[in-house]
Amino acid sequence: MAEIVFSGIPASKGLALGYIWRPATGAACGEATQGDAALTGGDADALRKAIATAIGDLSQLEGTLSGEEAEIVGMQLAFLSDDELARPAFEAIEAGQSAVAAWTEVMNAEIATYEVSDDEYFRARAIDFQDIRDRVLAALTGVQSGVLQVPRGAILLASDLRPSQFLSARWGAGCGIALTDGSPTSHVAMLARGRGLPMVVGLAGELRDLEGPALLDGTTGILVSGPGAERLAEGKARLEADSAARKQSAALAGEPALSRNGVRVAIHATIADPAELDGLDPSHFDGIGLVRTELFLDKLEKLMDEETQFATYRRILTWADGKPVTVRTLDAGGDKPIKGYTAVNEANPFLGIRGIRLSLRQPEVFRVQLRALARAAAYGKLRIMLPMVTLPDEITTARELLDAEITALAAAGVDHGRPALGIMVEVPAVAITPERFDADFYSIGSNDLVQYTCAVSRDEAGVAHLGSAIDPSVLALIARVVEHGRATGREVSLCGDAGSDPRMVPHFLAAGLRSLSVQHGLGGAVKATIAGLDLVDHRAGQA
Amino acid sequence: MSQDYLVASAVLTNDAGMHARPSVKLTQLARSFTANIEVATDSAGPWVDAKSPVKLMRFRAPQGATLWLRAAGEDAQRALDEVLALVAGNFGEGAHG
């Protein structure tokens, strides 16, 4: 049998090697007929009882779960407990409709308003309301859909899956989920990621009569029917490698990152909140590669509070104990508005007043941060990084502001240091001609560099496949900046999310990068990836 | 019966806007007050009961939308303060970088 490959959208990474498995069609949907409700006190009463039964069942299910899973069931409970949901159904019953017809029509109308939403997130909520509708219908008609028993190695193939089905199901080892509808932002996708179950949604093609052996790749988003010997061997090797890699990364987390041939790569941690440092071992990292200040400076009054900022930066430097700490100045605007500070009603906020553009427009706010940073620099190796730089002048102006604050601190006899001043490389204008930008160091912001190079919105799943940090165009830009850094003796690193992705790391290192800032939980996995690579030793070449 | 409302507004800064989880969190908080609390996405209304998650979700308020709040009753000021703090804190969700 020849291989057939179906493409979809990745929703939860991982690989399943097994066979196509379809759940028995749920009895709850469709041509539900009314039980003996009418005999026992009327339709309104029947609906009231059915809702109470559904609430009881959901509460029981919630009691067996914890964390995010319990929270998702809790949300359904909150909606079902809201009288507003069933109110129009009771009105329709009053007007003479049966309980089943009234509930079905009212819920279908509610669901339809979600299905037509422009917002992907709201569209993905339609399935939650279908889940609620069918649970009440089952109670109303007395037809209960059974608990899914998903056998070992089964790749569940369906049009969509309800959160309650997922949660009540018994999942065998090595299962996967393949859906022809669905969304990567659905609750089921979230649940699958939490349990580490591979999942692909939006699969297109003739899947109706599919059966037999199959492979599901939740990382690339494909379903392969009748996988060939070669693909199967590859898949098995990957599963074994995954399990070996998990063990290896745990072992390597506390070691310096070295390639197979002994080339050292610097691994820094990215943090958004100083509270993340609790429980983080400084010896596992070469420093802090990115502190995202906009996440704790999320209000204008915090931006103006020099003392609290100073205390925060000093705390991070104390933790780092002499290792470098790179603090990014406020990167507000775009998808990160701050009330009373960022511009409102921009037609395209990602191309508008954000990052350094915003800081330079409001120097009285920017100065507070620069002053707090210069004071904190007395306590360790602090480096300041400017986001969204587009023109060389922006660095010059920022440096003048920093110098002025340092001069004022010196005149007032306040303890301070002189931090290095570097820039993020996010705008292609910088990456194409880095030599125009006189910065002490450069850090590739891969998320935005991809967005601006490939013209791909960061928030729209429908175009996500068009852009990647390892797109040849993006890698060429990175290599150009690395080359400039090497020629002028300035450090070039990468601090975007892609730096924590073991699939992308080899490409970045091949482009010449030798310094990455990673999500701190993924340091071990990145080090394990590096340990399997042979790298060119640029230092040896220069010596 | 006319009521004197205290009014406030806040911008939704969390990733997905007023979706399921924030709606439920807001209504749970609103229910802990005796005050009559209402929500709108425009200062001119329509105003809906902040204690109904179904009604809040019907706004489909995306990230960046302004949420208007008004409250009347004995603990109205505290109710507004706490609901505003919930919105400003991204409903306890991490914002992405």
User: Residue A435 corresponds to which tokens in the numbers above?
Assistant: 């030599």
B79 domain residue, yes or no: yes
Please tell me if residue A121 touches chain B, with a CB cutoff of 8 Å.
yes
Please tell me if residue A113 touches chain B, with a CB cutoff of 8 Å.
yes
Return the sign of the alpha-carbon dihedral for residues A468, A469, A475, A480.
positive
Flag if B19 and A122 touch (Cβ within 8 Å): yes
Predicted local distance difference test score (pLDDT) of residue B45:
81
Question: pLDDT per position in chain A (543 positions), as tens?
Answer: 589 999 999 999 899 999 999 887 643 333 344 444 444 468 899 999 999 999 998 998 888 887 788 888 888 999 999 999 999 999 999 988 889 889 999 999 999 888 888 888 888 888 889 889 988 988 888 776 667 888 888 999 998 888 878 887 888 888 999 999 888 878 888 888 877 899 999 998 888 888 899 999 999 999 999 999 999 999 999 888 888 877 877 888 889 999 999 999 999 999 877 877 877 889 999 999 999 888 788 888 888 999 999 999 999 999 999 999 999 999 988 877 888 888 877 888 889 999 999 999 999 999 999 999 999 999 999 999 999 999 999 999 999 999 999 999 999 999 999 999 999 999 999 999 999 999 999 999 998 999 999 998 876 667 878 989 999 999 999 999 999 999 999 999 999 888 988 889 999 999 999 999 998 778 888 999 999 999 998 775 443
Q: Which of A175, A268, A416, A495 is catalytic?
A: A495
Predicted local distance difference test score (pLDDT) of residue A349:
85
Predicted local distance difference test score (pLDDT) of residue A459:
65
Predicted local distance difference test score (pLDDT) of residue A25:
60
End-to-end CA distance of chain B: 48
Predicted local distance difference test score (pLDDT) of residue A154:
93
B78 domain residue, yes or no: yes
Give me the CATH number covering residue B15: 3.30.1340.10
DSSP assignments along A495-508, one per residue: -SGGGG-TTTHHHH
Q: Which of 2-41 (B) contact A at CB < 8 A?
A: 10-11, 13, 15-17, 19-21, 24, 27-28
3-state secondary structure of A536: coil
The tokens 């209402």 sit on which residue? B38
How far is the CA of A216 from the CAs of A12, A198, A230, A462, in angstroms? Answer: 11, 7, 15, 20
Please tell me if residue A125 touches chain B, with a CB cutoff of 8 Å.
yes
Flag if A119 and B10 touch (Cβ within 8 Å): no
DSSP assignments along A206-258, one per residue: --TT--SEEEEETTTTEEEES--HHHHHHHHHHHHHHHHHHHHHHHHTTSPEE
B83 domain residue, yes or no: yes
Instruction: Compute φ and ψ for B18, nearest 5 degrees.
Output: -85, 65
B58 domain residue, yes or no: yes
What is the distance in angstroms between the Cα of B50 and the nearest Cα belonging to chain A? 11
Instruction: Compute φ and ψ for A178, nearest 5 degrees.
Output: -120, 115
CA–CA dist A68, A457 (Å, integer): 28
Predicted local distance difference test score (pLDDT) of residue A173:
83
Predicted local distance difference test score (pLDDT) of residue A29:
36
Predicted local distance difference test score (pLDDT) of residue B95:
43
B86 domain residue, yes or no: yes
Q: Give the number of residues written for chain B.
A: 97
Largest CA distance in chain A: 93
User: Residue A418 corresponds to which tokens in the numbers above?
Assistant: 């002189």
**B24: domain range?**
6-92
- Beta strand segments in chain B, E: 6-11, 36-40, 48-49, 66-72
Q: Model confidence over B12-65: pLDDT tens digits?
A: 887 778 888 889 889 989 989 999 999 998 888 889 999 999 998 888 888 888
Nearest to A79 by CA among A140, A136, A139, A132: A132
Residue A228 neighbours by CB distance under 10 Å = 13
Dihedral (Cα; A238, A239, A243, A248), 10-degree rounding: 0
B1 domain residue, yes or no: no
Model's pTM, two decimal places?
A: 0.55
**Structural domain count of chain B:** 1
ipTM higher than threshold 0.95? no
User: Residue A169 corresponds to which tokens in the numbers above?
Assistant: 């199901």
What is the distance in angstroms between the Cα of B76 and the nearest Cα belonging to chain A? 22
Flag if A339 and B28 touch (Cβ within 8 Å): no
Q: Which DSSP symbol is given to A26?
A: P
Predicted local distance difference test score (pLDDT) of residue A183:
85
- Per the omega criterion (within 30 degrees of 0), is the bond before A419 cis? no
What is the distance in angstroms between the Cα of A27 and the nearest Cα belonging to chain B? 27
Nearest CA in chain B to A74: B24
Predicted local distance difference test score (pLDDT) of residue B96:
40
Q: Which of A187, A268, A416, A520 is catalytic?
A: A187
Dihedral (Cα; A503, A507, A509, A510), 10-degree rounding: 150
B50 domain residue, yes or no: yes
User: Residue A95 corresponds to which tokens in the numbers above?
Assistant: 């007007």
| Sheet of strand A15-21: strand arrangement | A4-7, A222-225, A213-217, A15-21, A154-158, A176-179, A199-201, A9-12
- Cα B88 to chain centroid distance, Å, stands at 11
B97 domain residue, yes or no: no
